[in-house]
Every structure is written in structure tokens, then in C-alpha cells.
Structure 1
Amino acid sequence: MTIDVARLRAGTPGTDRVLHLNHAGSSLMAAATLQAIEAQLRREAEGGSMEAGGAVAAQVEQARADIATLLGADPDEIAFTGGVSDGWGRAFAALRLRPGDKVLVGRTEWGGNLACLERAGLVVEAVPADEHGQISLEALARKLDGQVRLVALTWAPANGGLIQPAAAVGRLVRAAGVPYFIDAAQVVGQMPVDVREVGCDVLAAPARKHLRGPRGVGLLYVRRDFADRLDPAFVDTHSAPIGPDGAVLRAGARRLESAESAPALRLGLGVAVRQALDLGLDRIRATIVQRADGLRARLAAVPGVRLQDLGVERSGLVAFTLDGRSGAEVQATLATQGINLGFNGRAYTPLDMDARGLTEVLRASVSYLTTEAELDRFVAALTALGA
């Protein structure tokens, strides 16, 4: 069965206002998601935020259960966070690595994660890429030498359509007994995810990208048997309630949650997750692949456009440069025509950008909401800009 794109666009207020090709940055929320958020904010305004939060506690827990279903996990392995960087950073800090410890990363690791590792004084080694630009499994196997304390992988990078072989990496890392963290910011919501198959200990993702949820909330998976190894950098009455014997960390992923939460955003995330589950991640993935492949084919025919995607399997993020034009200039010009386009500099993926001699890339990221007519309009505008 195919996705009824017309119906979904009719239920998404932004689709008739803008040609949105920045779903990898932040997608367009459905009206139902917006309504869930607004309804909770009104309950807080009219009856008090604490009381309103208590009234929807069961709905928030249902959202947690739906997230677990989305990832192939159990509800006690899911924590709500403020976003992917917040979740990844909380888990990393709780791992309590020491200065000088060795960490392996893929060449396309997210710059924010690299910053965390650098400031902790760790020895960070990038695993070489293979001929396709993805992490070399042979090189990774050689580097897992007994001194490694963490392997971190950004599953799909911010600067191109590459999808890393996360499950194959997981098999090697699990055999070596090393913690395995995945940044799945560009993956969750656009393709099926099974954390058991991937073999990761921690996986973080935001709501705002392909899940089409609100900004400021995210999800964190922590494998049940791994959670006890995490000692949070800070706790509160939710993550470590004080009992007769003192403060005791919660079991499972919730030891990384905060007492200060936004139920409205969590409810919005829950609606977005339920929509993804109802549509089916296989169907979502097939639709996005079709749109992204069509966009790459169109762009390849535009004079001056250089596609910058790597990998064997690719995501809905199409990276390119336009000869003679800066990314900021292209982005700003298209914005005046109602076209949203992403633009990344070196800081987001510094290891890969340096390795490929890139200083910036433009990002046209599609969704299952994207239509063929929109792709034609975008390419026509880009062609005119390069003329």
C-alpha cells in the first residue's frame, strides 16, 4: 500500500504555505500534533500546570510505550529528553569516562558529540571510511584492541545522505564488550529501527526531524542491562528520589530524566510517534527513498550542481554544492521564494568535511510529504539561480 500523501498534506498546515525541503533540520508538524500541544497548554493555563500534568500522566506513559514500540524496546528502556544532544550528552556524562580513555567514532560523527568527547579529555580516534564513505568494518575490528572505552556512531550524518551500517558495527562492538552509543537524529522517523538488531546500548533522537514532532523534546533508549552502569552527572527528585536510605537512582532509562518536563511537548511527540506507527515505517522509508532518488537524478542534470552524498544506502537528505554560489546565498535567495533549504558548515561534521575538502554543503531533505511537483519547482528555482 502507498501513503496517501494528499490526505497527510491536508492535515499539515505548513504544506500550503511553504515548499519545505528542510525535514532533516525540522519537519512540519501535523495539525493533530499541534492540537495535542495546544490543548495541554490551555489545560495548564486554566487549571494549573502541575494539576494539568497529573491529569495526562497516563497519556504521557502511553507515548513512552509507543516510542518503545517504534524502536523495538521496552518502556522502561525509554527516557524523555530535551532533544538529541541533551539525551546523548546525559548518557555520555553518566558513563563517567576518564581523561585519556580511548573512544572510537565514525568519520561522520556529529560535531556536538565530538565537542563533548574533546572537552572530557578523551583520546578520540576516527575509524577510517571505506571506498563508499561509510565506516570501514575491517578497520573498526582492528581498532577494537581492548583499550577502547566507547564506540560512538552517528547513524546518518548531517552533511549527506550516507546511512552507516549500524547493525554490522553493533555486532563487532558487542563482541568486544564495549559500550555503543548511536546518534539517530536523522534516522528515527524515516526508516525502521530495531535496537535489538542494532545492538546499541544507547540511542538518542529528537522529535522535530522525521518524526514531525515539536522542537524541545526527544527520546533516549538505554538498554536495560546497561542502565546500571550509568551514574548521572546530576539528579533530582525524579531521577533519584530520597527514601529512608537516602537518594536512590531509578532503575532503567528514567535515571536520566528530569523532574522538570513539558507534558505538552511529550504529548505532541506521542501523537507524532503514533502517526508514524500507523503509517508504517517500511512505507515511510520506501516513499522517502523514491523522492530522494528522484531529487538526486534531477540535481545531477543541473549545470553547476555537485552532489555530495556518499554511501551504499542513502537517506532522504540530499547534499550538494552549487558552483560560484555560497550556501548562505542560495539558502537566503530561495527563502524569498518560499522554499526552505538546509545549509551546514564544517562545525557540524568536521572530520568528514575536512577529509573531503568541504567547507559547507546545501541540504535538500525530503519527507513522505514531499511531492514530485515540489521537486520540479525547487530544481527550476535552483537552475535559474545558477544560470
Structure 2
Amino acid sequence: MLDVQQARRDTPGCFERVFLDSAGSSLPPTPVVDTVVAHLLREAEVGGYAAANERLGDLAEVKASLGRLFGVDATSVALSDSASRAWTSFFYAVPLEPGDRILLSQAEYAANAVAALQRARATGASVEAIPSDDAGRIDVEALRELLDERVKLVSVVHAPTNGGLVNPVREVADAAHAVGALVLLDACQSVGQLPVSVPELDVDALSGTGRKWVRGPRGTGFLYVRPRLIPDLEPAMIDLHSATWTSPDTYELAPDASRFEMWETDVAARLGLGSAIDYLLDLGIDAVVEAIGYRAEHTRDGLERIPGVTVHDRGAPLDGHDRGAPLDGHDRGAPLSGIVSFTVDGVEPTAVRDALAAQAITVTVSSRSSTLLDMSQRKLDAVVRASPHYFVSPADVDRFLVAVRSLT
């Protein structure tokens, strides 16, 4: 059982406002803040190089902690400055030729989509969207119809940014691997709120960020790459950390996932990321998943009862399934994620956000350009997005619901 009161004491900001934007950039717990600030102060005392050298073991432990979270070896994990940098580091390393095909989720995030379109233009490959089923998830049967030996990569967004959907990752991976395609999982919105086990999901690469559900600092990201793939992948950008200059005209790439890293980094932020991952592991991912599930369902059910409010989340759970129970991202009947999207009749989403902000309630807006294919298909220009983490109390959710009701 998660100690919510202790989690709230570790999150001073949650007493000043109702914070419902952990899908954007969450409130880091006090141990994370203390870790970052302490290292910055140490840099001011001895300089950045010396301060970093003092923490080499702790920096290595960041990857080890991520490895424990994902069920993989630390040597298959690379650290980055964002989820987008992690995703593109792998994506641009996958060899593509004219006629090759890239398949994207219907709910693909804009950063991934524009990178895919750019590479397709440069290489002669093509980009295609996988149809969704009636619940909005990737239609695995339709995917199988699309797959052939020309498909080199399938991109899967685990939990889209604009609603509660959870995609059937393992089924997609099994189908893609049957034709030799690689599977790149965008876990930006799932790590920290869903169980993300690489052995269970069987993806070839996974990207994510520290600032969302993990509750780490901004400017942090991570990438997992299947070990057997690493020797054959050369990142588009390398430096003296990712490769060694071995002779005047030769270099040798790092043998592990560190070939996807660059030398210059925010050491304080990376240490903070490690602190956030350890905080999550200490709480227990199952307890965190359960707590987020209950809060999201409280939010979703409350909004559905307000006249003039429309909840736009997709992805239906199995009949009779407890949505607060542990989530399973490769179960086609999985509960919804902790992201709740809605609109208020006659009130623009940005106006809803601003009106709530005036009452010290933090939500955000997800616009059509962020998930162009999905939002266009549903004829939505924007939705309000509420994403309650485990430190949000039931009273906080009730206060939010009263405030939304007042707008109608």
C-alpha cells in the first residue's frame, strides 16, 4: 500500500495547488530536488569536472536503476537529454533504403512523425499509419495485413499524449517480428505510471523521459536498445564519448548502448533522474500503478457526470475489469492510462485551462498538431488534459471537479 501522506509531504507543491499535469512535467519529490541542488552547489565549490568525477559510481547506478525498472542489463541503456533525443538516436541509426517502409501508430506523437517524414524524404522510404480499432488502439489484424519484408520499423506509442488509451504493445511486437521488422516503443507517457517490462513487451528499443510520470528533472531521457542490435547500429551523431578516435582516419564505436550518448551532459539532472527512478522503485511500481488508476478513474467518472462536459478518452477495458487494478500494456482489455482528456461545451480548452489556473488548479491542453492523425480523425482541435499522479488526494480531485462544473 502506497503511503500517500508521505508522498504528499515529499511534494510540497501539491499543498499549494491541485496539480494535474504529470503527463506534462510532474512535481519532483524532495529527494530529487535535493540531489540536483546538492550537485550544483558542489560544482560551484570544485568545478564541474571534479564534481562529476566524484559521482562516477552514482552516474553508473542511474543506468543500473533503469535496468531494474525495465528488466534489462544496464549496458543496454543509454542516457539522454529528452525522450525525443532518445527516440531519434535509435530511429536515425536504423538503415533505410528506397522502397523500405516505416509504420507509425495512428496516435503517433508529432516529434516522431516529423522525424519519420524527414528520413523518408532523405532515403526514399515511405511512411504509413497503422489503422486503429473501434476502441482507438492499434488494430493488430490490420497491422498484419500491412506487414511485409519491406517494413523495417514499426513505431508504437505506448500511451498517447491526448487521452487514456493504452496500446497492445506485445501483440504489435509479435506481428512485426514475424516479418523481421524492428519495434521502437515510445514509452514517454507510460514509464512511471504503467509497468514497462522489456522482456514481456519484447520491443527492440524503448525511449522515455524523466520529467513526466517518473517525476525526475527536465532535460533527462533514456533509451533501451536490444543488445544484439547494438553492434550493427551507428548513430547519426557521435563524439569522443560514443566513439574512440583510434588512428588519424579511424574510430571505434562504444560496444554498448553508450554509443547513443554524447559526452556533454547536465550531471546534476542525471543524478536527479537516478534519484527519481530509485524513489519509484522504493514505492513499488504496482502500488504506483494502482494509485494512479484510482485517481484517474475518480477524475474520469466525475467529469462524465457533469452536464456539458465530454470525456474523449479511448481504449475500453474488459467488462467487469477493475480499472484501478495493475495495468498491462499488452493486454487488449487493459484499463485506461492516467491521462484524462475532456472538453467543456462552449468553452475553448485554453480558456478552461486558464480558468482553472486562476483557482490554483493545473491542467494543460493537448492540440491537434501534437497527434495530427488521431485528432483529425476524431475532428478535435484540442482537448483539456488532466493527469493526476499518486500524490493527488481525492479531495484535490473533488476540488477540480467542482471547478469544472462551475464553468458549465
TM-score w.r.t. length of structure 1: 0.97
What's the Cα RMSD here? Answer: 1.1
The match for 2:361 among 339, 342, 358 is: 339
Task: Give the structure 2 partner of residue 372 of structure 1.
Answer: 394
Note the alpha carbon deviations across 1:82-123, whole angstroms, 9 max, x for none: 110010011111113245531111110111100001112241
Measured in 1, the distance between the counterparts of 2:376 and 2:277 equals: 36
Measured in 1, the distance between the counterparts of 2:172 and 2:283 equals: 29
Structure 1 position 319 matched with structure 2 position 341: yes
Percent of aligned pairs sharing the same letter: 39
Q: How far did 1:14 drift? A: 1.0
Task: Give the structure 2 partner of residue 181 of structure 1.
Answer: 184
Q: Tell me which moved more, 34-43 or 114-123.
A: 114-123
Aligned length in residues = 385
Q: How far did 1:136 drift? A: 0.6
Unaligned runs of 5+ in 2: 317-334
Structure 2 counterpart of 1:344, one-letter code: S
Residues 181 and 202, structure 1, Cα contact 8 Å, conserved in 2 = yes
Q: Tell me which moved more, 190-199 or 159-168.
A: 190-199
Note the alpha carbon deviations across 1:181-234, whole angstroms, 9 max, x for none: 010011001121111211111100000000000000111101101112321111
Measured in 1, the distance between the counterparts of 2:21 and 2:49 equals: 35
Measured in 2, the distance between the counterparts of 1:98 and 1:160 equals: 35
Task: Give the structure 2 partner of residue 203 of structure 1.
Answer: 206
Q: How far did 1:145 drift? A: 1.4
The match for 2:294 among 284, 290, 297 is: 290
Q: How far did 1:132 drift? A: 1.1
Q: How far did 1:45 drift? A: 0.9
Distance 1:48 1:166, change over 3 A: same
Measured in 1, the distance between the counterparts of 2:296 and 2:349 equals: 20
Q: How does 1:260-279 map to 2 (within 5 A)?
A: 260-279=264-283
Measured in 2, the distance between the counterparts of 1:249 and 1:177 equals: 25
Structure 1 position 159 matched with structure 2 position 162: yes
Q: How far did 1:155 drift? A: 0.5
Residues 210 and 273, structure 2, Cα contact 8 Å, conserved in 1 = yes
Measured in 1, the distance between the counterparts of 2:85 and 2:46 equals: 30
Q: How far did 1:152 drift? A: 0.3
Structure 2 counterpart of 1:261, one-letter code: T
Measured in 1, the distance between the counterparts of 2:211 and 2:291 equals: 19
Measured in 2, the distance between the counterparts of 1:31 and 1:88 equals: 29
Note the alpha carbon deviations across 1:233-264, whole angstroms, 9 max, x for none: 11110001112583100012110100001111
Structure 2 counterpart of 1:183, one-letter code: D
Residues 152 and 180, structure 2, Cα contact 8 Å, conserved in 1 = no
Q: How does 1:90-101 map to 2 (within 5 A)?
A: 90-98=89-97, 100-101=99-100
Task: Give the structure 1 partner of residue 384 of structure 2.
Answer: 362
SS in 2 for 1:134: coil
Measured in 1, the distance between the counterparts of 2:241 and 2:223 equals: 16
Task: Give the structure 1 partner of residue 73 of structure 2.
Answer: 74
Residues 312 and 341, structure 2, Cα contact 8 Å, conserved in 1 = yes
Task: Give the structure 2 partner of residue 143 of structure 1.
Answer: 146
Task: Give the structure 2 partner of residue 251 of structure 1.
Answer: 255
Unaligned runs of 5+ in 1: none
SS in 2 for 1:9: helix
Distance 1:14 1:99, change over 3 A: farther
Measured in 1, the distance between the counterparts of 2:200 and 2:72 equals: 11
Residues 80 and 261, structure 2, Cα contact 8 Å, conserved in 1 = yes
Task: Give the structure 1 partner of residue 309 of structure 2.
Answer: 305
SS in 2 for 1:95: coil
TM-score w.r.t. length of structure 2: 0.92
